[in-house]
Structure 1
């Protein structure tokens, strides 16, 4: 139309577009040349009817502090629920899972930049399985019968067997999400220290030097023995704030994955059978299971790619 002298109607017919569309692109070319032929965003330059900033601040405040939904916020502020929802989406707090339950603030995620910079440690408690299977798969009635028939266990004052608890001591690398776990019959400081020593050696064998370790405020991790063992290993011990499991959230989420993928994934006919299945599941988790937080790769790939740079 500009260089060849075509009419608007003829160009529109040749390229199978509407008459206004042909004229629009011709005007762009006349004004700015070939650079104007790149498509532009259809977002308007100005939004005079956009929700005012004071109203946006009120919506965000009610979402953070009260955890209210769009309908409740709209009722309080005299707005349409669709308007409130649009503001929440724009502020990226449209889902309550994006908001910290303790403070109401948006969740701040962190990740250390190389393997070994920070190890998370924690203990997961699981009730031991009676011989014949637990109540989750056999039902309450049969589960109680299996529990009563389990031999070789001490008895309570009510003559029921004391099956005890399995304490899964877990260590997970903050950057790669590679996990190390052992099952013990207690969560004392001595046991936790032994697990830490073996975990540090396990990571060192894979080229990772441990610098820090983060734990909750359990008695084992508040002990002087834990502090002295960390200093002996050249590790800086750190603890989360009380009642703030979000800070140690990577290992908390790993425990959920471990429970779904191993502890309660299928029926085990004894506690020893479940414990024997843990190493195979850990290998699957570390070497084969895609992890969404690290680009759907398995954790060991990140460890192999970056460990040698920082060890």
Structure 2
């Protein structure tokens, strides 16, 4: 017969009392109580040896666990978690010594829970990406953007505007600067320090906002002009398409989770000190899922293109017509006026023929900034 969970002890005691009576029919009692003969004789033996207490449920936990992690390994896992509380089991697994045991991430999670630690799901958890684009070598492309600004704890100190630059190939954090604003001068000052340390990239990609965004009439900004003078090309993501700079966006999420949400800063200098410490861990220690759980520093090398302390002199091919951009951002050629951008004021541009007769290309460095059509009256 089916019995309620709360009356198991009473039912077992009733069964063994009836089964212990002289002339009791064990088979009939088993059918009546819905138990097997094997269970019936086990209860009778337990009752005979331990009395009523022998009928209570016993723990199924094994007296020993030969596959349980040893104490030294568990201490290592807990120490790593305490040092990096935002890193999940997969990252902690990658940090364990290669010569020692490396338990499965699920086992690491069980160890942490056993020691009262909160298990953080890996920030890169989930199915692997079906496709992932990256440039084949470091310094071919750097992604640049501002992380959303935040208030400092001292109201008089204002706000912090974190500037981030990430190498596309290695995910190496080239720059994490605590800026006072989002102006071209703030960015230029931070990048000069970066260029002196890491050299020049081949190309930057950034969004369309200030200070690198395109101004009115599709001209160049002063900031873009400065980079072009250094021989660094500049590209912009399509509006409303942040995935173009997906690696830097993902870096921002990690920065927010592991640092910005966990503490406050009373000044920009305190902020920069914390940024430098966190960036060093990110680059040299923190395993990266897309890098086979290796840190970004394992794939990054400094650029061979060194930063010139003085801008190189602009040189155009012999025979090309050179014009200096006037204060209104225009040039004049054979009664034709062309706006090339306020950012080019004071710079020299070259006018060169194209494959179409009468159509001329206006170029700054190696970038076309406009066309002059002599077939149309100026």
**Does residue 243 of structure 1 match 2:267?**
no
SS of match in other structure, 1:303: coil
**Does residue 170 of structure 1 match 2:164?**
yes
1:269 Cα offset (Å) = 6.2
For 1:162-197, what per-residue CA distance to the aligned partner results, in whole angstroms no more than 9, with x for missing partners? Answer: x63210111110001111111111101122222223
**Does residue 212 of structure 1 match 2:203?**
yes
Q: Distance in 2 between matches of 1:224 and 1:212?
A: 16
Q: Distance in 1 between matches of 2:237 and 2:160?
A: 24
Higher RCO (CA-CA < 8 Å; seq separation 6+): 1
Q: Distance in 1 between matches of 2:139 and 2:281?
A: 21
Contact 1:177 1:299 (8 Å CA) reproduced: yes
Q: CA RMSD in A?
A: 2.7
For 1:240-279, what per-residue CA distance to the aligned partner results, in whole angstroms no more than 9, with x for missing partners? Answer: 00010000011011011111112122x3363454442111
Contact 2:206 2:236 (8 Å CA) reproduced: yes
Structure 2 match to 1:185? 180
For 1:4-52, what per-residue CA distance to the aligned partner results, in whole angstroms no more than 9, with x for missing partners? Answer: xxxxxxxxxxxxxxxxxxxxxxxxxxxxxxxxxxxxxxxxxxxxxxxxx
Gaps of 5+ in 2: 1-125, 214-219, 307-378
1:227 Cα offset (Å) = 1.4
Q: State TM-score, norm by structure 2.
A: 0.42
Structure 2 match to 1:270? 266
Q: Which runs of 4+ in 1 moved over 4 A?
A: 307-311
Structure number with the higher helix fraction is 1
Q: Distance in 2 between matches of 1:203 and 1:309?
A: 9
Structure 2 match to 1:198? 193
Structure 1 match to 2:212? 221
SS of match in other structure, 1:231: helix
Q: State TM-score, norm by structure 1.
A: 0.50
1:308 Cα offset (Å) = 7.8
Q: Distance in 2 between matches of 1:239 and 1:124?
A: 17
**Does residue 303 of structure 1 match 2:300?**
yes
**Does residue 123 of structure 1 match 2:149?**
no
Matches within 5 A, 1:1-311: 109-131=132-154, 153=156, 164-179=158-173, 180-204=175-199, 209-222=200-213, 224-265=221-262, 267-268=263-264, 270-272=266-268, 273-304=270-301
